[in-house]
Amino acid sequence: MDLKAGDRVYHLGCGGGYYTAIMAEIVGPGGSVVGIEVHPDLAAHAKENLSCYPNVTVHAADGATFDPGPCDAMLINAGTTHPIPLWLDRLREGGRLVVPLTMGTTPTLGVGVMTRIIHEHGGFFRPNRDIVANLFLQECSRCARAGRYLRDSRRRCVLEQRASLIRSVRHCHRTSGVLESAA
């Protein structure tokens, strides 16, 4: 994630707060971390665990709709077929988004790639290799068309097309929902 002292970080799916605490230590007192957890009991547990960090706030909310404000880095700990446009809108220039792009194999499990997306020169790109992994899926962030696209590109082993999907996501969600330039 390339975190630096003073960064503002968004951690979606913060669970009990373990990785949120690590990020808070890295960004230091001049930075901040916003943790989101969809399960209210787990969010309450994270708030308790992180109460000694004045630079951390935790919210019980749906990360697909919660507005974290402008961020230097985002860690998404929930599978999704595509980056949510709000996340891309809130990523500052030079900001890094680490997100698992997934396709479902069962209602709660799936496979996909953990990828890093960087906002640079007004656009988004993926500078590193994708890592295929089994991941937990967050159903609220899934799009059937994008899932089919990921499944097809994985079968063809065309990893570069995923960058096209990332660029197309804004157009998809603001128009008809069809991934026109990614197909």
For 112-168, write each residue's pLDDT tens digit: 778 888 888 887 776 655 343 434 444 434 455 555 555 555 444 333 444 444 444
Report how far residue 3's alpha carbon sits from residue 164's, in angstroms, rounded to the nearest whole number: 26
Residue 170 has pLDDT above 90, yes or no: no
Give the ranges where the chain is alpha helix by DSSP (H): 18-27, 40-49, 85-90, 144-156, 161-174
Residue with the bigger pLDDT between 90 and 104: it is 90
> Considering only CA atoms, which of 14, 82, 99 is closest in space to residue 49?
14
Strand partners, 132: 113
Q: How much of the chain, in percent, has pLDDT values that exceed 90?
A: 49
Q: Average pLDDT of 62-73?
A: 95
3 state SS of 29: coil
Among 2-6, 104-108, 157-161, the least confident range: 157-161
**Percent of the chain at pLDDT exceeding 70:** 66
Domain boundaries, the chain: 8-142
Instruction: Return d(Cα 119, Cα 82) in angstroms, integer.
Output: 15
DSSP-derived 3-state class of residue 167: helix
**For residue 95, pLDDT beyond 90:** yes
Which residues touch 181 (CB under 8 Å, ≥6 apart)? 164, 167, 168, 171
What pLDDT score does 178 carry? 37
* CATH superfamily assigned to domain 8-142: Vaccinia Virus protein VP39 (3.40.50.150)
> What's the pLDDT score for residue 148?
56
**Which structure tokens are listed for 144?**
């059937």
**Residue 18 confidence (pLDDT):** 96
Examine the pLDDT at 90 and tell me if it is beyond 70: yes
Pick the range with the lowest mean pLDDT from 24-33, 39-48, 78-87, 155-164. Answer: 155-164
Question: Which tokens belong to 101?
Answer: 């792009």
Comparing 95 with 154, the larger pLDDT belongs to 95
What letter would DSSP give residue 140?
G
